[in-house]
């Protein structure tokens, strides 16, 4: 079955990862295109791979959302080796006992669903990194 | 009074809450007419009008208001700056007067928001032919709200509070709920608040969870309302009646900032740096410090937001917002009363009106007209709003010399 990423900064394949446009002047990273860098006004960018592991810097457990958005889910900000990434925390119970600030997580992919041609959309999330370096669940 | 000073000559806020029988123009007209009456002037005296209304989606609220209360041919600026729209309207009128284009201006903010529900978030579904096709700046094939974090305001501001806790420690669900308990307690003295019921900590924590750690009463209340202010130059004020001069409130600082670039601001709005910068500029312009403030109305759109703004407005040392709150400083009998109006969580948050309504609250105390909730002897106060994407308005106001 063919696959398509939920967003264009998610690269699928054997080694799924996120990419960003990095300003060659100051190193600022953007997930969308910019005409000039918001930080330094430089106009040259180069694609960079974002680290796949990080630390939860902020989270919220959303239990009331817009119509059509399934709840509960854990929204978070993950610091991936200096680049902040917005994503859901997955493969973890969505409650304050299981989700903690500072917890170590890693990128994983999440199926979104198939369209009428059978193409499957694939999203991403972050799952807890166990003490042994293994995640607490599959994807 | 120096000729180039700016003063609030008249100001008014409507009752916040449900106004099913009044439309947007009715509410704006009520606030504007009352502000003019408070200033003891009419539309004929006004040289510029700045007005804001977000839910009108670009309808010319200023001209609609003129048709309701007086079409005098003056320039109208219809402004929009998210939750900072009211402050932006006020700042626009102040700039016109300060630039010498006129000597008196009117600023109005109005919103019909009762029953609006959750703001932000949602999004489109699959395309019409039911196939995944990349759209937008991120080439998204499906709505990302809920799949890549949250775009709804309660969760965005929850993360802003949690991030503060991660950096400095000391936060908890209960701590944030206690901030809300304070504001709901303050609201019992405000007859214009949308909700003026005291709520216990247990009630607040036990209410419907919207986005942890924000329960429903910890979120700003959607409601209808309007607020308006008349500003005047010092030169003009000198020519007005003694009673107008006595009740005028001096604008010691009027600042508007936007968010400078910082790492992470593309994924979670940074409400801190632009607020801190607005506060720094305002204190410098006013020649006062946080220790001089008798009251502060700050943008508590969520309980989690109030905490970070104690720090951003420098009401405490950096990183000390939790001990500042725990000391009782921000209660109405504390050293720096914060949101004695009840704040957005109970007074309500009719978006475009908020940035003038908070000025009204401060003026009310500086004039000694705040009745049961008067902060005795108040001479200097600060009003703060922030709108996402982002804009921050800070005004410092001072009572007229006797």
**Tokens (6 digits) for B352:** 């475009």
Residue B125 pLDDT? 55
CB contact under 8 A, A112 and B144: no
Residue B128 pLDDT? 57
Residue A137 pLDDT? 41
Q: Alpha-carbon torsion A79, A80, A84, A88, what sign?
A: negative
Question: In this structure, are residues B194 and B14 in contact, taking their beta carbons and an 8 Å threshold?
Answer: no
Domain coordinates of chain B in residue numbers? Answer: 6-115+221-399
Residue pLDDT, tens place only, A65-107: 999 899 999 999 999 999 999 999 999 999 999 999 999 999 9
Question: In this structure, are residues B354 and B366 in contact, taking their beta carbons and an 8 Å threshold?
Answer: no
CB contact under 8 A, B131 and A115: yes
Residue B58 pLDDT? 87
Question: In this structure, are residues A110 and A125 in contact, taking their beta carbons and an 8 Å threshold?
Answer: yes
Q: In 3D, which of B229, B225, B249, B246 has the Cα closest to residue B363?
A: B249
Domain count, chain A: 1
For residue A137, the distance in angstroms to the closest alpha carbon of chain B comes to 19
Please indicate if any CB of chain A lies within 8 Å of the CB of B208: yes
> Could you tell me the pLDDT band of residue A130, with boundaries at 50, 70 and 90?
confident
CB contact under 8 A, B261 and A8: no
Question: In this structure, are residues B252 and B398 in contact, taking their beta carbons and an 8 Å threshold?
Answer: yes
Please tell me whether the overall predicted TM-score, pTM, comes out greater than 0.80 for this model: yes
Please indicate if any CB of chain B lies within 8 Å of the CB of A31: yes
End-to-end CA distance of chain B: 12
Round the average pLDDT of chain A to a whole number and report it: 93
Which chain A residue is nearest to residue B211, measuring alpha carbons? A62
- Pick from A69, A112, A116, A120 the residue to mutate for testing the B interface (most B CBs within 10 Å): A69
Closest residue to B210, CB basis, from A6, A63, A101: A63
Stretch 292-331 of chain B: residues touching chain A, C-beta under 8 Å: none
The average pLDDT across A33-40 equals 96
Helices (H) and strands (E) in chain A, counts: 0, 10
CB < 8 Å to A77, chain B: 149, 159, 163, 264, 267-268
Backbone region of residue B374 per phi and psi (left: phi > 0; alpha: psi in -120 to 50; beta: other values): beta
| Structural domain includes residue A135 | no
Residue B323 has phi, psi (to 5 degrees) of -60, -30
Residue B129 pLDDT? 65
Residue A52 pLDDT? 98
Which chain A residue is nearest to residue B140, measuring alpha carbons? A7
| Residue B260 to residue A39: CA distance in whole angstroms | 8
What does the pLDDT profile of chain B (402 residues) look like in tens digits? 687 899 999 999 999 999 999 999 999 999 999 999 999 999 999 999 999 999 998 899 999 999 999 999 999 999 999 999 999 999 999 999 999 999 999 999 999 998 887 777 766 555 556 899 999 999 999 999 999 999 999 999 999 999 999 999 999 999 999 999 999 999 999 999 999 999 999 999 999 999 999 999 999 999 999 999 999 999 999 999 999 999 999 999 999 999 999 999 999 999 999 999 999 999 999 999 999 999 999 999 999 999 999 999 999 999 999 999 999 999 999 999 999 999 999 999 999 999 999 999 999 999 999 999 999 999 999 999 999 999 999 999 999 885
| Residue B75 to residue B152: CA distance in whole angstroms | 36
Number of CB pairs < 8 Å for A and B? 163
CB < 8 Å to B163, chain A: 57-58, 77
Residue B402 pLDDT? 59
**Tokens (6 digits) for B265:** 């601001």
| Residue A67 to residue A83: CA distance in whole angstroms | 31
Superfamily of domain B6-115+221-399: Thiolase/Chalcone synthase (3.40.47.10)
CB < 8 Å to A22, chain B: none
Please indicate if any CB of chain A lies within 8 Å of the CB of B140: yes
Closest residue to B145, CB basis, from A39, A66, A124: A66
Please indicate if any CB of chain A lies within 8 Å of the CB of B116: no
DSSP H helical ranges for B85-187: 85-98, 153-168, 173-187
Cis (ω within 30 of 0) for the bond into B16? no
| Structural domain includes residue A34 | yes
DSSP per-residue string spanning B324-382: HHHTTTTSTTSSS-B-TT-HHHHT---HHHHHHHHHHHHHHHHTT--GGG--TT--EEE
Please indicate if any CB of chain B lies within 8 Å of the CB of A123: yes
| Residue A66 to residue B117: CA distance in whole angstroms | 9
| Structural domain includes residue A95 | yes
What are the CB-based long-range contacts (under 8 Å, 24+) for B173-177? B173/A96, B173/B205, B173/B212, B173/B213, B174/B201, B174/B205, B175/B307, B175/B322, B175/B325, B175/B326, B176/B213, B176/B214, B176/B218, B176/B303, B176/B304, B176/B307, B177/B201, B177/B204, B177/B205, B177/B213, B177/B215, B177/B218, B177/B303
CB contact under 8 A, B267 and A31: yes
> Could you tell me the pLDDT band of residue A133, with boundaries at 50, 70 and 90?
very low
For residue A18, the distance in angstroms to the closest alpha carbon of chain B comes to 12
For residue B259, the distance in angstroms to the closest alpha carbon of chain A comes to 11
| Residue A5 to residue A8: CA distance in whole angstroms | 6
Closest residue to A60, CB basis, from B126, B147, B155: B155
Closest residue to B130, CB basis, from A70, A101, A115: A115
Q: Which helix (H) or strand (E) holds B50?
A: strand B48-52
> Could you tell me the pLDDT band of residue A134, with boundaries at 50, 70 and 90?
very low
Range of the domain at A49: 3-128
CB contact under 8 A, A31 and B126: no
CB contact under 8 A, B162 and A101: yes
């Amino acid at each position: 079955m063919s696959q398509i990423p939920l967003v264009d900064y998610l690269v699928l394949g054997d080694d799924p990862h996120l990419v960003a446009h990095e300003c060659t002047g100051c190193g600022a990273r953007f997930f969308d295109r910019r005409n000039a860098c918001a930080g330094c006004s430089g106009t040259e960018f180069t694609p960079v791979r974002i680290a796949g592991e990080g630390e939860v810097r902020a989270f919220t457990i959303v239990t009331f959302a817009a119509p059509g958005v399934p709840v509960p889910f854990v929204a978070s900000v993950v610091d991936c080796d200096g680049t902040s990434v917005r994503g859901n925390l997955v493969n973890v119970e969505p409650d304050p006992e299981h989700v903690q600030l500072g917890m170590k997580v890693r990128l994983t992919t999440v199926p979104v669903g198939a369209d009428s041609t059978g193409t499957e959309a694939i999203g991403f999330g972050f799952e807890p990194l166990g003490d042994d370096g293994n995640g607490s669940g599959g994807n | 009074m120096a000729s180039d000073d700016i003063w609030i000559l008249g100001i008014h806020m409507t009752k916040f809450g449900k106004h099913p029988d009044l439309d947007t123009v009715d509410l704006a007209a009520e606030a504007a007419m009352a502000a003019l009456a408070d200033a003891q002037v009419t539309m004929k005296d006004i040289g510029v009008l700045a007005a804001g209304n977000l839910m009108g989606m670009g309808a010319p609220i200023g001209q609609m208001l003129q048709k309701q209360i007086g079409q005098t041919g003056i320039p109208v600026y219809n402004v929009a700056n998210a939750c900072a729209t009211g402050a932006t309207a006020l700042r626009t009128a102040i700039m016109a007067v300060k630039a010498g284009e006129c000597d008196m201006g009117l600023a109005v903010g109005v919103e019909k928001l009762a029953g609006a529900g959750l703001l932000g978030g949602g999004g489109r579904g699959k395309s019409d032919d039911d196939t995944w096709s990349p759209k937008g700046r991120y080439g998204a094939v499906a709505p990302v709200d809920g799949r890549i974090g949250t775009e709804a305001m309660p969760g965005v501001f929850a993360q802003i509070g949690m991030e503060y806790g991660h950096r400095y420690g000391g936060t908890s669900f209960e701590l944030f709920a206690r901030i809300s308990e304070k504001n709901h307690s303050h609201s019992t003295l405000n007859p214009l608040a949308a909700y003026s019921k005291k709520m216990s900590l247990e009630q607040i924590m036990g209410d419907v969870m919207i986005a942890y750690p924000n329960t429903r009463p910890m979120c700003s209340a959607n409601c209808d309302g309007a607020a308006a202010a008349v500003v005047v130059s010092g030169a003009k004020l000198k020519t007005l009646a003694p009673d107008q001069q006595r009740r005028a409130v001096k604008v010691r600082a009027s600042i508007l900032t936007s968010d400078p670039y910082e790492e992470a601001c593309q994924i979670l709005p940074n409400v801190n740096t632009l607020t801190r910068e607005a506060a720094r500029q305002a204190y410098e312009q006013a020649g006062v410090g946080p220790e001089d403030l008798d009251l502060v109305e700050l943008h508590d759109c969520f309980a989690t937001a109030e905490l970070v703004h104690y720090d951003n407005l420098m009401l405490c040392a950096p990183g000390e917002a939790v001990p500042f709150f725990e000391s009782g400083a921000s209660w109405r009998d504390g050293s720096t009363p914060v949101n004695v109006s009840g704040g957005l969580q109970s007074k309500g948050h009719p978006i475009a009106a908020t940035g003038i309504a908070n000025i009204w609250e401060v003026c009310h105390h500086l004039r000694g007209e705040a009745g049961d909730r008067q902060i005795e002897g108040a001479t200097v106060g600060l009003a703060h709003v922030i709108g996402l994407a982002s804009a921050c308005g800070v005004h410092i106001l001072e009572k007229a010399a006797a």
